[in-house]
A and B are shown apart, each in its own frame.
Chain A
Amino acid sequence: GAVVSQHPSRVICKSGTSVKIECRSLDFQATTMFWYRQFPKKSLMLMATSNEGSKATYEQGVEKDKFLINHASLTLSTLTVTSAHPEDSSFYICSARGPGQATNEKLFFGSGTQLSVL
C-alpha cells in the first residue's frame, strides 16, 4: 500500500506556457500532500502543503500565483506552473502522508517530474 503516482515524469515546454503536474494517491486517501522542488545535488525544498478542500499553505518565498495548487479530491493534488520561464526548470516531487495511524507521519513520494523550460 501507500503508492503515490506522479505524472508526467518529464515535460519540455516553451517559455510562457503553463504546465500541470498531477499527484495521485493510488490505494489510499491523502488529505495532505506536499510539493517540493529539487535542484541537482541539492536537497528537497518544500514549496507548499496541499490540503484537500482548502487553500494550499505556501512556504515563504514561493509565489502563489506562479505555482497554483489544487487539491480537489482525497486522491489528487495538482501543481500548475504558470507562465513558465527557464528558471522554473527543476525536478518537482510530490509526497503524501501514509494512511492509517501507524504510517501517517511517513512520507511516500511520487516519482517526480523533470521540467525543462526552453
Chain B
Amino acid sequence: QKEVEQNSGPLSVPEGAIASLNCTYSDRGSQSFFWYRQYSGKSPELIMSIYSNGDKEDGRFTAQLNKASQYVSLLIRDSQPSDSATYLCAVKGPNAGKSTFGDGTTLTVKP
C-alpha cells in the first residue's frame, strides 16, 4: 500500500463546475497536509495547507481533512480552464523531516 494515494485521473469537469480531488494516507500519526498544483513542465506550487479536522477555505479552494478516516480532499469551486493541472497531495508526520507525495491527480477543466 502506498503511503499517500490519489486517483491518477484524468478528472475532467466543465468550466464553472466543482472539481473534487481526493487523497488517502496510511500513517495515522500524520499531522500536516498539503495540496500542491503543478502545471505541465513546471514545478509544484503550494495552494493549500491544513492541519486540523474540518474544512479550510481560501478563495475558490476548500481543503477538507478527516483524520479518523485518514482522508484529505481539495474542492475547487467555479473551476476555470486555468485550473487544469496536476494536483499533488503531500503528507507530513510530526517527526518526519520530509513530506510524502502522492502520484497526483490530473485535472482538466473544459471550456
Contact = CB atoms under 8 A, between A and B. Distances in A.
Contacts of A46: 98, 101
A11 interface: no
In the A-B complex, the 4 residue pairs with the smallest Cβ-Cβ separation, listed nearest first, are: A109-B43, A43-B103, A112-B43, A105-B32
Interface of A: 6, 32, 34, 41-44, 46, 49, 57, 93, 95, 105-112, 114
Contacts of A114: 41
9 contacts: A43-B102, A44-B44, A46-B101, A93-B43, A105-B99, A107-B46, A107-B90, A107-B99, A111-B43
B65 to A, nearest CB: 14
A44 B88 contact: yes
Contacts of B49: 105-106
A49 B98 contact: yes
Interface string B73-111: 000000000000000101010000111011110100000
Contacts of A57: 97
A41 B101 CA distance: 14
Nearest to B96: A105
Nearest to A42: B103
Contacts of B60: none
Nearest to B90: A107
B34 interface: yes
B46 A108 contact: yes
